[in-house]
């Protein structure tokens, strides 16, 4: 290994800071999720503690997983692999570490704000205005650091992970401002239907143009290395990237198929939702052909195991998503737990699990020591896998019960007792995930700071 | 009237994508695709051989079964919904 590579490998305080951020918020966010799940079983659970009643715990959970756990986890990986792929140093680690600290202050302010009742009340855009501004600053700092790194590159060709990573942060820095209507600080919203349309342009971009590309960037980087195989086709990967950019940017209206929005917008969103099969299958065929015949290698490696599992959930969530965008299917699946199931499969099963794999990939490389405990990481894998698969099954069943009851005009008081056992099951499965999150946090802190393992 | 804003928004996204695409084309980003396949591998010092294990294979099989079970179940669910609503 030459000297530059060695220095690249040894010092990555930025990736370390984002790793710790992600692990800590994963633990906190699942704790908020458990509180919310508790309220759904027993609505007077923790009665009178206004700071965490359901209406506040839910957005705290959702914002903490999105902006505290998944995004920083995937960014930690990006801060590692982007400079490496470009054969250069990150433009500024000082800026990177500052960025991570500021990021934490931002998410924490958001949580405190929501728990005190300061919310803009629009899903995925709940954070109050000052925090919105802080989020924009955080993303802008990431963009500046990474763009200047790309400009200083030694390797002229941009590997597909760089395309995805850069697109994710640049697009989010822009769409966050638009979607949160930051030019209207008092409400953070437009009025009436245009607001719903704008919100879902933004909302879907958070999954499709932030989490998805960042996670795919990590998968395209880690899987070839962990299976010692070159990418099956770089051309195919670029086709996947460009088709995602063209198709995904305007499918937000599929969240509003039951709402009086213009039909042409609905039509675009439905057609493009089905067309999503193209970018998705292109990516998956490419990744799966890359690792073809290497299943053993995948399961011998903790990062590859997480990320390969992420690709399976990616397949699943997208096929499911394309079907949910059909109005006839959505008549049953809309406004109930089916969508919550889809949300967990996508944001957690795909993006979150990929983030965990990416963290386990970079950890030994940024600390130059083996992982503190492979056993704990493996245990976390199984806890998370059982938890999320269980979520998918349980929430889908509840969704079908609720959807059919509603469709057939049944009254609510008959349905509620029917779905109670499923809510208990969901909370039990949530416990698996939450325990996994705390074990992961412990393992990561030990690996980063208290690891006596021999240097590699 | 809000249509013009949305159309402008969507169109500007499309135009910016086109500009970046042609920048990449001119910079030869799409030329040497064979070498690009190896970039991730090259960015790393050669890692040691992979240690395979029976446990690993078992993981893979269990995962595959779970994934197919999930897929089959949701396919059945959606087919039933469609049959129910259309029929
Ligand atoms: C082919 C790709 C996809 C399509 C066509 C799709 C489609 C949909 C549709 C139609 C809905 C709205 C359901 C309803 O309200 O009735 C939805 C919701 C959702 N999707 Fe997807 N999806 C896709 C991929 C993903 C991915 C990859 C993620 C996560 C990374 C994701 C995360 C979510 C979330 C979190 C919601 C819930 C939104 C809410 O709170 O109402 N989706 N999706
Ligand atoms: C301890 C584990 C978890 C529990 C108990 C849990 C519980 C919940 C609950 C109760 C809700 C509200 C659902 C409703 O309003 O009916 C929710 C929503 C949500 N959770 Fe979790 N969750 C957990 C882990 C996660 C993780 C790890 C992620 C992502 C990485 C995640 C992402 C989401 C998202 C995106 C939503 C919004 C769904 C929607 O609006 O459709 N959750 N969760």
Range of the domain at B26: 3-33+54-86
Instruction: Say yes or no: ipTM exceeds 0.90.
Output: no
Nearest CA in chain B to A1: B45
Q: Which residues line ligand 2 (CB under 6 A)?
A: A 30, 33-34, 36-37, 40, 58, 61-62, 65, 69-70, 339-340, 343-344, 347-348, 352, 427, 430, 433-434
**Interval between CA A56 and ligand 1 midpoint (Å):** 22
DSSP string, A112-164: HHHHTT----STT--S-HHHHHHHHHHHHHHHHHHHHHHHT-SS-S--HHHHH
Q: Is residue B61 part of a domain?
A: yes
Nearest residue, CB atoms, B29 vs list A157, A246, A389: A157
Contacts of B14 in chain A (CB under 8 A): 246
Are B40 and A161 a contacting pair at CB < 8 A? yes
Number of domains, chain B: 1
The 3-state DSSP class for residue A229 equals coil
Inter-chain CB pairs, A–B, below 8 Å = 137
List of E strands, A374-441: none
Q: Is residue B64 part of a domain?
A: yes
Q: What is the pLDDT of residues A126-140, one digit of tens each?
A: 999 999 999 999 999
Give A376's contacts (C-beta < 8 A, 6+ positions apart): A439, A440, A442, A443
CA of A258, closest atom in ligand 1 = 16
- Is the predicted pLDDT of residue B2 greater than 50, yes or no? yes
Q: Is residue B48 part of a domain?
A: no
Q: What is the pLDDT of residues B11-26, one digit of tens each?
A: 888 888 899 999 999 9
DSSP string, chain B: --HHHHHHHHHHHHHHHHHHHHHHHHTTTTT-HHHHTTHHHHTSPPP------HHHHHHHHHHHHHHHHHHHHHHHHHHHHHHHHH-
CA-to-CA distance for A83 and A146, rounded, in angstroms? 8
Output the residue whose Cα is nearest ligand 2's atom 23.
A33
HEC per residue, A57-94 = HHHHHHHHHHHHHHHHHHHHHHHHHHHHHHCCCCCCHH
Hey, what are A306's tokens?
């997480």
Q: What is the pLDDT of residues A110-120, one digit of tens each?
A: 999 999 999 99
Q: Is residue B80 part of a domain?
A: yes
Q: Is residue B65 part of a domain?
A: yes
Nearest residue, CB atoms, B29 vs list A158, A301, A400: A158
Integer CA distances (angstroms), A424 to A40, A148, A247, A428, A429, in order:
9, 50, 39, 6, 9
Q: Is residue B75 part of a domain?
A: yes
Q: Is residue B44 part of a domain?
A: no
pLDDT, residue B32, reads 87
CA-to-CA distance for A407 and B73, rounded, in angstroms? 21
Q: What is the pLDDT of residues A302-317, one digit of tens each?
A: 999 999 999 999 999 9
**Interval between CA A330 and ligand 1 midpoint (Å):** 12
Q: Is residue B39 part of a domain?
A: no
CA-to-CA distance for A446 and A451, rounded, in angstroms? 5
């Amino acid at each position: 290994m030459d000297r530059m590579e060695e220095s690249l490998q040894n010092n990555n305080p930025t990736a370390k800071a984002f790793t710790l951020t992600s692990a800590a918020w994963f633990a906190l966010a699942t704790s908020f999720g458990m509180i919310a799940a508790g309220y759904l079983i027993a609505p007077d659970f923790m009665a009178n503690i206004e700071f965490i009643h359901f209406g506040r715990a839910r957005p705290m959970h959702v914002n903490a997983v999105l902006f505290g756990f998944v995004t920083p986890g995937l960014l930690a990986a990006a801060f590692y692999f982007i400079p490496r792929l470009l054969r250069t140093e990150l433009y500024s680690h000082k800026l990177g570490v500052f960025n991570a600290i500021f990021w934490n202050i931002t998410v924490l302010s958001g949580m405190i704000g929501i728990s005190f009742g300061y919310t803009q009340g629009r899903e995925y855009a709940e954070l109050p205005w000052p925090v919105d501004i802080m989020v924009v600053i955080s993303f802008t700092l990431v963009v500046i650091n990474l763009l200047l790194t790309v400009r200083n590159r030694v390797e002229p060709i941009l590997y597909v992970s760089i395309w995805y990573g850069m697109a994710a942060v640049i697009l989010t820095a822009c769409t966050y401002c638009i979607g949160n209507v930051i030019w209207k600080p008092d409400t953070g919203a437009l009025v009436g239907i245009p607001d719903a349309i704008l919100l879902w342009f933004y909302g879907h971009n958070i999954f499709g143009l932030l989490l998805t590309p960042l996670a795919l960037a990590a998968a395209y980087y880690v899987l070839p290395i962990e299976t010692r195989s070159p990418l099956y086709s770089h051309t195919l990967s670029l086709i996947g990237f460009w088709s995602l950019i063209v198709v995904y940017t305007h499918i937000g209206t599929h969240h509003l198929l039951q709402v009086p929005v213009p039909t042409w917008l609905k039509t675009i969103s439905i057609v493009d939702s089905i067309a999503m099969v193209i970018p998705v299958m292109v990516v998956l065929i490419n990744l799966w052909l890359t690792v073809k015949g290497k299943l053993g290698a995948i399961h011998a490696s903790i990062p590859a195991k997480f990320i390969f599992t992420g690709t399976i959930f990616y397949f699943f969530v997208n096929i499911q998503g394309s079907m949910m965008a059909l109005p006839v299917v959505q008549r049953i699946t809309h406004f109930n737990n089916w969508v919550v199931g889809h949300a967990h499969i996508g944001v957690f099963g795909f993006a979150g699990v990929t983030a965990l794999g990416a963290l386990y990939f970079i950890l030994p490389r940024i600390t130059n020591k083996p992982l503190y405990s492979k056993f704990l990481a493996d245990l976390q894998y199984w806890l998370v896998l059982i938890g999320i698969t269980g979520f998918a099954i349980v929430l889908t069943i509840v969704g079908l019960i609720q959807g059919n009851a509603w469709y057939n005009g049944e009254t609510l008081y008959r349905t509620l007792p029917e779905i109670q056992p499923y809510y208990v099951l969901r909370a039990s499965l949530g416990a698996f995930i939450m325990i996994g999150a705390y074990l992961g946090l412990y393992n990561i802190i030990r690996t980063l700071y208290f690891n006596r393992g021999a240097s590699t | 009237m809000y249509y013009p804003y949305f159309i402008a928004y969507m169109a500007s996204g499309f135009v910016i994508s086109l500009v970046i695409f042609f920048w990449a084309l001119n910079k030869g980003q799409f030329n040497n695709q064979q070498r690009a396949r190896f970039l991730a591998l090259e960015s790393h010092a050669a890692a040691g051989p992979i240690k395979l294990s029976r446990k690993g294979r078992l993981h893979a099989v269990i995962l595959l079964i779970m994934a197919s079970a999930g897929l089959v179940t949701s396919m059945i669910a959606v087919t039933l919904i469609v049959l129910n609503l259309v029929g």
